[in-house]
Amino acid sequence: MGTPIDLVVVHAISLPPGEYGSSHVLDFFTNQLATHEHPYFQSLQGLQVSAHFFIRRQGQLWQLVSCDDRAWHAGVSRFNGQDNCNDFSIGIELEGLDGQTFEASQYETLSTLCATLADNYPIAHIRGHEHIAAGRKQDPGPGFDWAHLQQHLGWQASRFPNT
């Protein structure tokens, strides 16, 4: 890849929106979603997206793409003057809905994962999808507690979005 991975992007997803616990999100990120199973899924037909990690509501962690490989989670994006955030970021999807709150177990898993990533990559920043694709994306949204994550990680405020 050549570009240092210095950004973690936090996302929120549930399929269908607001429903949790099924295999639909994992199916979507592995291009195996049966679009005929729900009317909402038809809007996703033909999309090929991926994320490095997925964290369920109960905190279970799934790795979908190697951190050394590019995942297609950010879409049209920009951070610190650089376009194409997929080139220099790791995408972490939280099972949830933008604007709603997340579970304590998700924050615990997310903070452990971010600390591990920072031990292996020069992670300098963590942002939400909403911060790198402003106006286009809204996740994880106002229900995500950035201060709580910062407290768990013990990282400097400059690594987080200004909220």
Residues catalogued as catalytic = 93
The Cβ of residue 132 has, within 10 Å, a number of other Cβ atoms equal to: 25
Alpha-carbon distance of 19 to 58, in angstroms, equals 14
93's enclosing H/E stretch is strand 89-95
Contact 70, 1 (CB under 8 A): yes
Give the count of beta carbons closer than 10 Å to the beta carbon of residue 144. 25
CB atoms within 10 A of CB 107: 20
CA angle 73, 143, 72 (to 5 degrees): 0
> Can you tell me whether residue 51 is helix, strand or coil?
coil
